[in-house]
Structure 1
Amino acid sequence: MRQRVATAVWRVVLAAGLVCGIGLLPWLTRTDPAYTVLKARSAEREPTPEVLADIRAQLGLDGGPLHVLGRWLGGLARGDAGQSWISGSEVLPDVLRALGASLLLMSVALLVAALTAGIICARTLRLGARRRLGGRRRGGTASAVVASLPEFLVASVLATVVGVQLGWLPALGWYGAQWTVLPALALGLPAGAVIGRLLDDLLPGAFGEPWALAAAARGLPGRRIARQALRRCVPALLPNLGLFVVGLTGGAVAVEQVFDIPGLGRTTLQAALAQDLPVLQAGTLALVLLAALATGATRLAARLLTGPALRDGALSSLHRPAPPAGGVLPLVYGAVLLAVVVAGLTRDPLALDTGARLLAPSLDHPFGTDSLGRDLLARVGHGALDTLLLASAVTAAALVAGVLLGLVPRLSAPLVDTVNAVPPVLAALLVTAVAGSGAATPALAVGAVAWAPLAAHTSALLCQERATLHITATRGLGAGRWYLLRRELLPAVLPPVLRHALLRLPGVALALASLGFLGLGAQPPSPEWGLLLAENQPYAERAPWAVLAPAAVLALLGALAVTAAGGLRRPRRRRPDTAVPVGAERTAAPRKEPAATR
């Protein structure tokens, strides 16, 4: 009971700290909020001391930031979130309308994600139901490509091709159910590809458990075994599903911008850029509450699906030693990516030729040219160094932080919920306000939120791994906590979490470059891949190669990351020749598995 109370208090403290930090954003930027409000209301009016003093009096800024925060919190107790500093309208109705639009979009996007994940796992489910699932699996390249595609690129292609050229569905606005299809596809396809890859990674272990072998021996239908295998694997992914719920609601800023959707993410970002403090605070508080509800629902669902086996230590490990997967594909993808980078490095990425604007691919320009006549192959090759190195460093740091924090779920779970409620763009604005804009700003902002899914994944896998039969038996033989962690838990959990980190590497690379495009890091004419996508996006209909070239390289990076991750498996353990006496080393008992679980 005390632990639950302490966790609840820790969660409230973190949420309050986040809301207060957001509330102090106008002052952290070292600018006068009254000056920002004046420019938003009337850009032609001179910011004289008298005018600024009058605005401070109107907004109640004379008492300082703590006074503003206290008055806002007092208004919340009465159901009043204040008035917008820019428009003067009531904040709460506008935020609730934006939240309603985002929740509807999130619901349809989750349906698309579930269907996408089902398609990715269909082959594994079919083979497992027929008892033909071997240790070496092929495929998965298509899902890797889909998972690595940037959401705003998918949104732009769908809006241009399906909405404008073909006219099948409306591309702009938010007026009914038809307007949710294209943005839901843009959000749900990449998310479903990630979930499908994680689920497909767990299914072979479920089909190899004793209950599945016994069910097949008794002649139970394969479809029934497949359904139970899904039920066995889904609890380990529910924490990440909760993170997707919040991310699809507050982090869909780019998709909402492309389709002109008045969602919560777009509303919060616009308020942050305009320093409209009441709207920014209310939107952030809504995201924090949504994160808490999503996390509570996923944890309850995980306990209901797993049942008393999680408490009684009656599970089998889903992460068994297996031969490496991937074969020669990682070498092929790596060779192609290296060839592209080397070929691009031999060319000048800044050479302008206005007479060669938006040229199609040719022998002179294998990837074509951009709107300024610059060679796209050269820009892709030179941008690879900064993009890949920085993305790899941020992913490695996020992996280490996620694993370490995932080992202490009572500390990290509330922190994960709070961090996940902050869209990366808003995190970048906070980092910029505190540390200033610079080359390190995107790395700090993305790294501040990239560890959360990995920590949630680590905690979920550890929770189930601790409830396995061999852990219960090893503990009964006298093994200590550190022995279990070092020799049993970490070897089982690290490979799937590392595969998860590699799966997110292309997304990290794109997030870094996207923040640079927003003015929070590297600036044009830097040839970062995300900048190339954003700069050439307006010319997608006239010169599609200008967008497809960097998108194809990013997809190739995703395919390389996923196929290389397939070879990361738990190593096979050699049987010890002699058992270690329990009394000789209390924390060094060898692992003894029952015959049915090997």
Structure 2
Amino acid sequence: MRRHLATPVWRALLAAALVCGIGLLPWLTRTDPALTVLKARSADRDPTPEVLADIRAQLDLDRGPFSLLGQWLGGLWHGDAGRSWLSGDEVAPAVLQALGVSLLLMTVAFAVAAVTAALICARTLWLGAHRRLDGRRAGGSGSAVLAALPEFLTASVLATIVGVQLGWLPALGWYGPQWTVLPALALGLPAGAVIGRLLDDLLPGALAEPWALAATARGLPGRRVARQAVRRCLPGLLPNLGLFVVGLTGGAVAVEQIFDIPGLGRTTLQAALAQDLPVLQAGTLVMVLLAAVTAGLASLATRLLAGPALRDGALPSLHRPAPPARRVLPYVHGGLLVAVVALGLPRDPLALDTGERLRPPSGAHPFGTDALGRDMLARVAHGALDTLLLALAIGAATLLGGVLLGLLPRLSGPLVDTVNAVPPVLLALLVTAVVGSGPGTPALAVGAVAWAPLAAHASALLRQERAALHVTATRGLGAGRWHLLRRDLLPAVLPPVTRHALLRLPGIALALASLAFLGLGAQPPSPEWGLLLAENQPYAERAPWAVLAPAAFLALLGAFAVSAAGGVRVPRRRTGSRAPAIAPEQPSPARELVGTR
């Protein structure tokens, strides 16, 4: 009973701490909130002591942050989230309207992501259903290009080409279903690529289980075998699917900014920038509640899909030794990355030549020049050092933290949900308020949230692996927890989580670039990739090479991450046999295939 109560209490404490931290944001920035409100209301008005005192009196700022927080929490019991400090309007209707917009956009984006993931896994499912899968993952590196494309760049290209030049779909505003297509594509394609790679990583193990081999041998249709294989893999993916849902709802700030969508992420970010505390607190609370509901639904769906086998320890392991693969692509992609950096490092990334503005690629400037005549090859190469090294350091730290916290699901589960509810942009503002702005701010903000998907993945895989038949048998023979963890659990869980971390490496670089794109990271004239994209975006139609160069490098990084991830494998056991078949009393996929219960 105590264990069942501990998780909700821990979740409530984390949510309260987050809301309190948000409530202290205007005071943490070490600026007068009255001055910020005055600038937002009337920028031309002089901030005289009398004017500032009047604003403090209107907003009760003299009572201090904790008194305001208590007043706001007391109003929530009556459905009153306060009034905006800027407009004076009630907060609750505006935040609920923004939530409705974000939920609609999330639904369409998730449909795009599902179609994208299905296309990525289609070849693996077809080969497995026809017994032509040799244990290696069939997917290629094309999904890595989609996963590494910056959402704000995809949104800008879609808005410019499809919306403005071709006029096929509206590019700005939010007035009907047609306005959801372009932003949903910008959000859904990268998310679907990551989901597809994670599912494609698990499918070979499911298709090699005895029930799948028996069903195929008896001549059952391949599509039914494939459908049950997907269902078999879903329990290990549902926690990450929940994270994607929350991320598509509250974390789509850049896309909402580009398409002028009044969603929850944009509303919360604007409130944070303007220090409109009531709107900021209400938006953050809604995102935390959404994360809690999504996590609860994901946990319920996992139990329903896994059935009693998860409880009784009757699951086979999805992660089994694979034959060694001779891979050339990692060396090709890595060689291209090294070659670009080596060619660009001798060049000066800050040298200005106004006579060479926006020049196309040539022998003198292989990647062209930007709006100030600076060599793009030099800027991309020098920016790669900072971005790649920082992304690698953050990736290694998040992998270690994610695995360690994944071993403690009761501690990490609510923490993952709470952390994932905060967009990196808003967290970057909190970090900036506490430690100040600087080059380390994006790293702290991204590192504080990047471990959450890995912890959720590790926790879900460990839950299933603990229910594996060979683990149950080993435990029955008297093996202790350390022996099981070292010899059975970690060898099966570490490789897929490490592959997941490699898949997230372009996403970490992308998150760093996104913060720089929104002006929260490195500042000019730094050649950081996000700044390169932000500086050259206005010239995308006239000089597309200035935007394509850093974007192509991000895509190449994604291709390298995926191709390198394919080499991370479950080690072969020296002794022992394959996991036995599913116990007769377990409701196996094979029994559903033949129509029995």
* Fold agreement, TM-score > 0.5: yes
Deviates more, 1:210-219 or 1:188-197: 210-219
Alignment match, 1:376: 376
**464-473 or 322-331: which moved more?**
322-331
Summarize the Cα distance change of 1:524–1:298 in structure 2 as closer, same or farther, 3 Å threshold: same
| Structure 1 residues 88 and 97: CA distance shift in structure 2, 3 A | same
Q: Which amino acid aligns with 1:114?
A: A
Residue type of the alignment partner of 1:289: L
Alignment deviations for residues 499-537 of structure 1 (CA, whole Å, 9 cap, x no partner): 111111111112123323444332111111121111111
Residue type of the alignment partner of 1:302: T
Partner of 1:499: 499
Q: Specify the alignment match of 2:178 in structure 1.
A: 178
Q: Do the aligned residues in 1 keep the contact of 2:139 with 2:200 (CA within 8 Å)?
A: no
Partner of 1:479: 479
What is the Cα deviation at residue 44 of structure 1? 2.0
Alignment-derived partner of residue 96 in structure 2 = 96
Q: 1:313: which partner in 2?
A: 313
CA distance in 2, matches of 1:518, 1:130: 48
Q: CA deviation at 1:388?
A: 0.4
CA deviation vs aligned residue, 1:91-116 (integer Å, no higher than 9, x gap): 11110110000000000000000000
Q: CA deviation at 1:324?
A: 4.0
Cα distance change, pair 175–519 in 1 and its aligned pair in 2 (3 A): closer
Partners of 1:492 and 1:56 lie apart in 2 by 59
Letter in 1 for 2:118: G
Tell me the equivalent position of 2:39: 39
Match of 1:154 in 2: 154
Q: Map of 1:286-365 to 2, 5 A cutoff?
A: 286-325=286-325, 327-365=327-365
Letter in 2 for 1:501: A
Q: Structure 1's 105 and 325: CA in aligned 2 closer, same or farther, altered over 3 A? A: farther
Is the 1:367–1:545 contact (alpha carbons within 8 Å) kept by the matching residues of 2? yes
Q: What is the total number of aligned residue pairs between the two structures? A: 582
- 1:50 deviates by 2.0
> Is structure 2 residue 119 aligned with structure 1 residue 119?
yes
Question: Which residue does 1:525 correspond to in 2?
Answer: 525
Alignment of 1:9-88 (within 5 A): 9-88=9-88
CA distance in 2, matches of 1:521, 1:156: 20
Using the TM superposition, name which of 447-456 and 36-45 deviates more. Answer: 36-45
Is the contact between residue 395 and residue 501 of structure 1 (CA under 8 Å) also seen in structure 2? yes
* Contact 1:112 1:184 (C-alpha < 8 Å) held by counterparts: yes
**1:532-567 deviation digits (Å, cap 9, x = unpaired):** 111111111111111111110110000001100000
Cross-structure match for 2:234: 234
Partner residue in 2 for 1:542: 542
What amino acid is the match of 1:300?
A: L
Work out whether residues 137 and 325 of structure 1, in 8 Å CA contact, stay in contact via their aligned partners in 2: no
Question: Per the alignment, in what secondary structure is the counterpart of residue 172 of structure 1?
Answer: coil
Counterparts in 2 of 1:122 and 1:594: CA distance versus 1, 3 Å: closer
SS at match of 1:422: coil
- For residues 87 and 595 of structure 1, the distance between their equivalents in structure 2, rounded to whole angstroms, comes to 66
Please give the TM-score of this superposition, normalised by the length of structure 2. 0.96
Secondary structure, counterpart of 1:78 in structure 2: coil
Shift in Å, 1:348: 1.1
Q: In 1, distance between residues paired with 2:147 and 2:105? A: 19
What is the identity, as a one-letter code, of the residue corresponding to 1:346?
Answer: P
Quote the residue 1:454 is aligned against.
Answer: 454
Tell me the distance in 2 between the aligned counterparts of 1:344 and 1:4: 57
- More moved, 115-124 vs 516-525: 516-525
Q: For 1:195 and 1:159, how far apart are their aligned partners in 2? A: 25
- In structure 1, the partner of 2:196 is 196
Unaligned runs of 5+ residues in structure 2 are: 583-597
> Partners in 1 of 2:518 and 2:182 — Cα distance?
24
**1:559-598 superposed Cα distances (whole Å, 9 cap, x missing partner):** 00110000000111212xxxxxxxxxxxxxxx5655659x
Instruction: Give the residue type in structure 2 aligned to 1:61.
Output: L
Q: Is this contact kept in 1: 2:125–2:203, CA < 8 A?
A: yes
1:282 aligns with 2:275: no
- Work out the CA distance in 2 between the residues paired with 1:550 and 1:454: 27
TM (normalized to structure 1)? 0.96
Q: Point out where structure 1 has 5 or more consecutive residues left out of the alignment.
A: 576-590
Q: Identity rate of aligned residues, in percent?
A: 81
Partner Cα distance (2:139, 2:217) in 1: 29
Distance 1:17 1:139 in 2: 42
1:84, 1:164 → 2: CA distance? 35
What one-letter code is carried by the residue in structure 1 that aligns with 2:283? G
How far the C-alpha of 1:158 sits from its partner, in A, is: 0.6
Post-superposition CA distance 1:132-184 (Å, at most 9, x none): 10123454211010011110011011111111111111111100000000000
8 Å contact kept, 1:138–1:326? no
Q: Distance in 2 between matches of 1:139 and 1:594?
A: 25
Note the alpha carbon deviations across 1:357-402, whole angstroms, 9 max, x for none.
1111111111111111111011111111111001110111111111
